Chains A and B, each alone.
Chain A
Amino acid sequence: QKEVEQNSGPLSVPEGAIASLNCTYSDRGSQSFFWYRQYSGKSPELIMFIYSNGDKEDGRFTAQLNKASQYVSLLIRDSQPSDSATYLCAVNMPGGYQKVTFGTGTKLQVIP
């Protein structure tokens, strides 16, 4: 079982719709969860982090965490073509100096 799993996509949504990206993780000891956006040929950019169960909102982005189900998600409201990118989920690995494990990412395509 992979430590961090994401559907590779592509996930296609029309402009203005809500995009929902999902991630599951295997280590119940994980405490910190991150979402990165990566445009093609560029480096990952941190867009959200969440520690506690529930929702965390930042502008058009909402991160949701359910530790009991070992599930974290990212919602993007009012999706724009500029949101088209690969979204990487990352989970901290207990015991290291802020080490994280990345999922392989979900490719999001926002159709104008």
Chain B
Amino acid sequence: DAMVIQNPRYQVTQFGKPVTLSCSQTLNHNVMYWYQQKSSQAPKLLFHYYDKDFNNEADTPDNFQSRRPNTSFCFLDIRSPGLGDAAMYLCATISEGGGQYFGAGTRLSVL
């Protein structure tokens, strides 16, 4: 059974129309991450949480926000998507050895 679940798997939005991506985990872990990955690029960390302690990467655009209402759920809000925000968005929690366990990802298209 999947331990990190992302919805939806595919999301199409219009330029400038807000969109929310969701993630849930069944591992009850206190750390969660959001990454952005574009084609042929490395996953880029946007935010991470330790419990409710929110950590924003210095180069994450203000257009990206996140919420974590409880241990299990985490949301990524893109307030005004641009064409350059089309990417795979990956949610993750901690895996064995301190690595990350990723959900299946949400592929975002911006028209």
Give the interface of A toward B (CB within 8 A): 4, 8, 32, 34, 36, 41-46, 49, 51, 88, 90, 92, 96-105
B42, B45, B94, most chain A CB atoms within 10 A: B42
A107 and chain B: residue at smallest CB distance: B40
> Total contacts A to B, CB within 8 angstroms?
64
* Residue among B40, B98, B101 with the highest chain A CB neighbour number at 10 A: B98
Which residue in A32, A44, A92, A97 is a CB contact (below 8 Å) of B102? Answer: A44
On chain A, the residues within 8 Å of B98 by CB distance are 32, 34, 49, 92, 98
Which of A41, A96, A100, A105 sits near B99, CB closer than 8 Å? A100
Residues on A with beta carbons closer than 8 Å to the beta carbon of B42: 4, 88, 101-105
User: Once bound together, how far apart are the Cα atoms of A41 and B55, in whole Å?
Assistant: 28
The size class of the interface chain B forms with chain A is: 20 to 34
Chain A residues closer than 8 Å to B102, beta-carbon distance: 43-45
Give the shortest distance, in Å, between A11 (CB) and chain B (any CB).
Answer: 15
B108 contacts chain A at the CB level, 8 A cutoff: no
Smallest CB–CB gap between B86 and chain A, Å?
14
Q: Which residue of B lies closest to A97 (CB)?
A: B50
Is the Cβ of A46 less than 8 Å from the Cβ of B95?
A: yes
Complex alpha-carbon distance, A32 and B94, angstroms? 13
In the complex the two chains form, what is the Cα distance from A43 to B45 in whole Å?
Answer: 14
A5 to chain B, nearest CB (A): 11
Taking a contact as CB atoms under 8 Å apart, the answer to whether A90 and B99 are in contact is yes
Which of B40, B45, B88, B104 lies in contact with A99, CB distance below 8 A?
Answer: B45
Q: Which of B43, B88, B99, B103 has the most C-beta atoms of chain A within 10 angstroms of its own C-beta?
A: B99
Q: Which residue of A lies closest to B31 (CB)?
A: A97
Which residues of B66-111 are within 8 A (CB) of A? 88, 90, 94-105, 107
Known: A42-B104, A99-B48. A49 touches B40 (CB 8 A): no
Q: Are A43 and B103 within 8 A (Cβ)? A: yes
CB-based nearest B residue for A32? B98
Shortest CB distance B29–A (Å): 10
